[in-house]
Amino acid sequence: MQQVVLPIKDSNVLKEVQDTLLNNFKAGRRNYTIFQVGKATLLRVSDVMGLKQTDIFNLDGSIKQNAFIHDRKTGKPNVLYLKPVQTELLLYRQWLLDHKLAPRVNNGIM
């Protein structure tokens, strides 16, 4: 059976989804960040999940201005503008550090 996925068009529904992702799961910060990064960059979930610490963070822990990746499905190069999700990424990184789940350099951070 094929599942139909429709875009969220109502801002109230969007806020409800974001609140649910952030507050109703043990890994809420992770789920919320995946959603926000996907929404801001228009990436597929598989591409968001494949992002690495070195793709997003500078050595000092700050957020890079852009990330350069190749889409998994198409193989096309893609430049991601990270400023719209800078706050979410910094909060996610701090959440990882607080829970001693700091990402390893070669593994996906999501």
Question: Do the Cβ atoms of 34 and 48 come closer than 8 Å?
Answer: yes
Looking at residue 29, its pLDDT comes to 93
Examine residue 6 and state whether it is found in any structural domain, yes or no.
no
| CA dist., res. 75 & res. 105, Å (int) | 22
Report pLDDT digits (tens) over 32-77.
999 999 999 999 989 999 999 899 999 998 999 999 999 999 999 9
Examine residue 92 and state whether it is found in any structural domain, yes or no.
yes
Burial class (CB in 10 A: 0-12, 13-18, 19+), 47: buried
Examine residue 3 and state whether it is found in any structural domain, yes or no.
no
Examine residue 104 and state whether it is found in any structural domain, yes or no.
no
Q: Is the pLDDT of residue 22 over 80?
A: yes
Examine residue 61 and state whether it is found in any structural domain, yes or no.
yes
Examine residue 106 and state whether it is found in any structural domain, yes or no.
no
Report pLDDT digits (tens) over 3-13.
888 888 999 99
Looking at residue 26, its pLDDT comes to 86
Under the banding of pLDDT at 50, 70 and 90, the label for residue 88 is very high
pTM of the model: 0.83
| CA dist., res. 27 & res. 19, Å (int) | 13
CATH number at residue 49: 1.10.443.10
Structural domain for 57, as ranges? 12-98
Instruction: Give the total number of structural domains in the chain.
Output: 1
Examine residue 47 and state whether it is found in any structural domain, yes or no.
yes
